[in-house]
Amino acid sequence: MFGEMFGGNLGFSMGLVGIEFLIGLILGLLIKKALKVIIIVAILVGVGSYLGAVAVNWGKVIGVANTVVALGSIVVTLLPLGAGLLVGGIIGFVKG
């Protein structure tokens, strides 16, 4: 039954899911760490901008944000989003 689902190569398929799971764990952990840093930097820039200590060119920030969104969508479409990668990313984000 399982051999038919995986084309008779259950070991290779399970190994591939395991590799995707490990990559997902690492990506989830890195995303959580980066998210913390981004939030802290955004708060510091917001407070500094409000107090006049930091001059922010919002036009350039919006231009860079659009580029980041475009590149992020390209990365997501190129990555093979398997079950192992998805589950590993969620566990890495929550437990990281």
Please tell me the predicted confidence (pLDDT) of residue 57.
75
Residue 30 is predicted with a pLDDT of 87
Over the range 21-58, which residues count as b (16 or more CB within 10 Å of their CB) and which as e? Answer: bebbbebbbeeeeeeeeeeeeeeeeeeeeeeeeeeeee
Dist CA 31 CA 19 (whole Å):
18
* Per-residue pLDDT, 9: 58
pLDDT for position 7? 57
- Provide the angle, in degrees to the nearest 10, between the axes of the packed helices 83-95 and 10-51: 40
What three-state secondary structure class fits 12? helix
pLDDT tens, position by position, for the chain (96 residues)? 455 555 555 555 666 777 888 888 888 888 888 888 889 988 888 888 777 777 777 778 788 888 888 877 777 776 666 777 777 888 888 886
Nearest to 21 by CA among 83, 93, 94: 83
pLDDT at 1: 46
Predicted TM-score of the model (pTM): 0.52
